[in-house]
Amino acid sequence: MYPRDTSSVFESHLDYLYNLKRLGIKVGLSHTIELLKRCGNPQNNFKSVHIAGTNGKGSTCAIIASILKTAGLKVGLYTSPHLIQFNERIRVNNNPIENAQIVQFIEQYKSDIDEIKSTFFETTTALAFQHFSNQNIDIAIIETGLGGRLDSTNVLNPNVTVITPVSLDHCDILGNDILSVAGEKGGIIKKNIPLVIAPQLSAVQNQFLKKAVKVGTSIIKVEIPSNIQITEWETRFKKKDQLFKIPLIGFHQAINAAVGIEVIQSFMPEIKKEIIDDGLNKVKWPGRLQRMKKEYPIYYDVAHNSHGLESILETMSQIFNRKPSGLFVMKKNKEPDLVVQALENKFDQLILSGAPELGLMSGNELSQKLSNFGLKDFVVMNRFQSALDHIVEITQKTSRPAIILGSHYIARIVFNKFGFLF
């Protein structure tokens, strides 16, 4: 876990950054372009891989970054949201940006940020790009924040673009149907910039193919890996007759790894398989079907949309061949109707909880909304810590598998419960 800097200087600057969230999400790239211009356009000083999608973006970013770092490159990694501390979002060779570097950036550009009225994510993106430039990285792996077309990261002129599996999420912003969402994600496709796409629904894939042809770029379609074998600790699979394994769990992680491997093999063929294997073995991406205790099978995953939840629960079913206990929370602005089918009849016992102080619905609010859309067979425990203690106790006594689901926002509490450090 990152040490918490309690100095008033850093805390006040971090508060300033978080307070920019009041400006919301702005449509368009003009503010980002202007802020980066005043920073000296640092995004032009390094190579990059730009990654959009609904599910698997972060895991795919982590996989590519780990392989490249293992190959000896100095690698920047920009992802969101963070689990414990803001600094996690911006890393170089897996080392988070230091507090002093955040303070220095804000002090240097605060007047510009205020004048432009830059949002939280616009400012954070500029901070990341400036940090990567200052650190003289070889390449940055950049995850979109939301969508793609109008995302602040889309000012990049990357070497490769990647789109992971697309499904419905953030419908209030990206659109209420899958093709509208795909249209926003596909906004990162650019002329003469090769595109790698994960397996998609046929209509979504066709939309990306048409966009690639229209703008004039090549496209690589990654096939679903074969011989996928999932255990409690790792996933093994075959890609083009080559065997791979990764210490991330699930069918979906085999796909994420296959996408990452494709990026490496297609555009950096000098990186040999033994380096790829070593890089895969070193991947760490907490909060993704993460086993929290060696002694008994309890897991944590930040999955919050229907596609992500279905992937996680299908994986649990494959590993244990029985229904797990579940603890589910949900962010206040999420669409509960989209997750009911993913949750229905998947648990031996399902506990609904919440933490309004963390930006989550209360357990009562969540249960009312989910039951209105047809969810049955659950219990409500409003206090999240009590719900967490309860599901841990059940798992310890019965060795029944359990999964904690629904949000990044509970990560600190979950990790503290199990004494997990990262």
CA–CA dist 262, 264 (Å, integer)? 5
The answer on 147 and 18 residing in a single domain is yes
CA–CA dist 316, 324 (Å, integer)? 7
Residue 76 has a pLDDT of 99
The answer on 393 and 262 residing in a single domain is no
* Distance in angstroms between the alpha carbons of the first and the last residue of the chain: 5
The answer on 144 and 30 residing in a single domain is yes
The answer on 403 and 332 residing in a single domain is yes
Residue 420 has a pLDDT of 85
The answer on 121 and 190 residing in a single domain is yes
The answer on 296 and 177 residing in a single domain is no
Tokens 């989209």 sit on residue = 338
Residue 24 has a pLDDT of 65
Residue 4 has a pLDDT of 46
The answer on 187 and 324 residing in a single domain is no
CA–CA dist 218, 231 (Å, integer)? 36
Contact status, residue 91 vs residue 141, Cβ threshold 8 Å: no
The answer on 156 and 50 residing in a single domain is yes
Q: Indicate which CATH number applies to the domain containing 326.
A: 3.90.190.20
Residue 3 lies in a domain: no
Could you tell me which of 161, 122, 126, 127 has the C-alpha nearest to residue 141? 161
E runs forming strands in 112-216 = 139-143, 160-163, 195-197
E runs forming strands in 319-410 = 325-328, 349-354, 379-383, 402-405
The answer on 275 and 165 residing in a single domain is yes
The answer on 335 and 237 residing in a single domain is no
Residue 243 lies in a domain: yes
In this prediction, the residues of the chain whose per-residue pLDDT falls under 50 are 1-6, 170-173, 175
Rounded to the nearest integer, the mean pLDDT of the chain is 92
Query: Which residues, other chains included, contact 224 with Cβ-Cβ below 8 Å and sequence gap of 6+?
Result: 199, 255, 258
The answer on 382 and 259 residing in a single domain is no
Which domain covers residue 60, as residue numbers? 8-281
Is pTM beyond 0.75? Reply is yes
Residue 281 has a pLDDT of 98
Residue 390 lies in a domain: yes
Q: How far is CA 102 from the centre of its chain?
A: 22
Contact status, residue 167 vs residue 55, Cβ threshold 8 Å: yes
Q: Indicate which CATH number applies to the domain containing 98.
A: 3.40.1190.10
From 240, 258, 281, give the residue that closes a domain: 281
Per the structure, the count of domains in the chain is: 2
The sign of the CA dihedral 131, 2, 355, 373 is positive
pLDDT digits (tens, 9 = 90+) for 173-221: 454 578 888 888 899 999 999 999 999 999 999 999 999 999 999 999 9
Residue 334 has a pLDDT of 77
Task: Return left, alpha or beta for 180; rule: phi > 0 is left, psi -120 to 50 is alpha, else beta.
Answer: alpha
The answer on 212 and 232 residing in a single domain is yes
